[in-house]
Chains A and B, each alone.
Chain A
């Protein structure tokens, strides 16, 4: 293990690997520490979707810029990350949702997004197997440039590219402590050795809270178990991700043909739970077959759980904290870390390497929770 580094990144999910890549590309000496294997946390369990339709401006901006990067990422990283743009179809069930959708579409369009409100009969043109009555739909919003990519391949590709620029990646290595002096970081301790550094990126997903506690900083993040299922492979039927904020469901067909989707269970409480539940199977199968009745003949193959690292406003915590110089947060993605990672990694890299701050960083730093008034992201599923 190397003795010193300019930056130590904690967590080998897609965000940690993307930051390690961007920093190494800028010429910084980077060490990435991952306690298990790359993508072993939330990244490896996620639904693979990439969405730009949000209710808060910062998320829309981060997502639009991330998609611009995703569009060229396979070329940039020289690995196929299976990015494709089949769109996101957001089902609208009642007048209240329609009002909110109109307002959000106006805001999203003002930021340059191509997004439209669809009538019920137009929904079928996008995804033919949907049942308007079964979904109780009165309309939908659709952004054709939303899409998917393969989360494992994206993570592995970022890590491989980071290594090609000289970053060191240590998997199966646990961070055991972070040493500080006055208001600065001096060293990161692991079970495999010590690394001297003055900058630490905390991108450890639901375990970020424990990393922050090592230096006496309390993050408001809470872990939530989220469940997801995959069916057997089918011939290609639809390209879009279908989601509903009222029912909490999301589902789409992956490149290989399987349908992957999730839904929250009503009795979920915060905690590090990992066991799949029968309640999920019941809710998912009932809701999914009401949305697309023909899927009742399709076999469910497997069902697994992952975590959402949820903050009080369901938006990520990014940037340096006030209490400790060089302690950079990159966590609290609340279920959307994969889709936002390309731009988040660039913003944080600009900050670390060039000391450049942006309005998004200022809006999404930890200190925002000191006040009572923060904008809450309400467009959440799963």
Chain B
């Protein structure tokens, strides 16, 4: 039975443990290796689960500092919507 952790990129618990075994124990490293948190959910589904897997598997507590930076926008926005902003700077 497979346990899907990251639904956007189709990453399983097994994939994460395999990467940890290869030495990718930093959350950001795992993110760059497996693309977890880079899909449409922006990590809202997977990151907490990944943190738990790392902590359970390695036995070390992750510091909050090492959590991935939130990257705007909070929800996906179409390029057309962003481009339609008529706001002009003064001066």
Contacts and interface: CB of A to CB of B under 8 A. Distances in A.
Given A37-B28, A303-B71, A304-B69, A152 B78 contact: no
B26 A303 contact: no
A256 B83 contact: no
9 contacts: A37-B29, A44-B28, A44-B32, A171-B26, A232-B40, A285-B80, A299-B40, A300-B78, A302-B72
B26 A37 contact: yes
Contact of B32 (A39, A298, A303): A39
B4 interface: no
A302 B32 contact: no
Contact of A282 (B32, B76, B80, B82): B82
A304 B78 contact: no
A218 B36 CA distance: 40
Interface stretch (A16-24, A288-296, A315-323): A288-296
Interface in A127-174: 152-153, 156, 171-172
Given A40-B28, A152-B33, A302-B42, A276 B72 contact: yes
B71 A289 contact: no
Given A37-B28, A285-B79, A304-B69, 9 more contacts: A37-B26, A37-B29, A39-B32, A44-B28, A156-B24, A230-B38, A285-B80, A288-B83, A296-B79
Contacts of A289: 79-80, 83
A259 to B, nearest CB: 9
A285 B26 contact: no
A288 B77 CA distance: 14
A341 to B, nearest CB: 17
Interface of A: 36-40, 44, 152-153, 156, 171-172, 230-232, 256, 276, 281-282, 284-286, 288-289, 295-304
Closest 10 CB pairs of A and B: A296-B80, A285-B82, A299-B76, A285-B83, A152-B32, A302-B71, A37-B26, A286-B83, A285-B79, A289-B83
A284 B81 CA distance: 12
Given A44-B32, A171-B26, A282-B85, A300 B80 contact: no
Interface of B: 24, 26, 28-29, 32-33, 35, 38-40, 42, 69, 71-73, 76-80, 82-83, 85, 87
> Binding site of A, secondary structure by majority: helix, strand, loop or mixed?
mixed
A38 B33 CA distance: 11
A300 B82 contact: yes
A40 B68 CA distance: 11
Contact of B77 (A40, A230, A300): A300
Contacts of B76: 232, 299-301
Most buried by B among A153, A276, A299: A299
A153 B77 CA distance: 29
Contacts of B72: 276, 281, 302-303
Given A232-B40, A302-B38, A302-B72, A38 B29 contact: yes
Contacts of A298: 78-79
B82 A281 contact: yes
A285 B85 CA distance: 10
Nearest to B37: A302
A265 to B, nearest CB: 12
A153 B19 CA distance: 13
Contacts of A302: 38, 42, 71-73
B71 A296 contact: no
A39 B30 CA distance: 12
Given A232-B76, A276-B71, A295-B79, A301 B40 contact: yes
A367 B26 CA distance: 39
Q: Which of B26, B40, B82 has the most CB of A within 10 A?
A: B82
Contacts of B40: 232, 299, 301
Given A302-B38, A302-B72, A296 B83 contact: yes
B63 to A, nearest CB: 11
A135 to B, nearest CB: 15
A298 B81 CA distance: 10
A38 B40 CA distance: 25
A317 to B, nearest CB: 27
A324 to B, nearest CB: 33
Given A231-B79, A285-B83, A300 B73 contact: yes
A232 B78 CA distance: 10
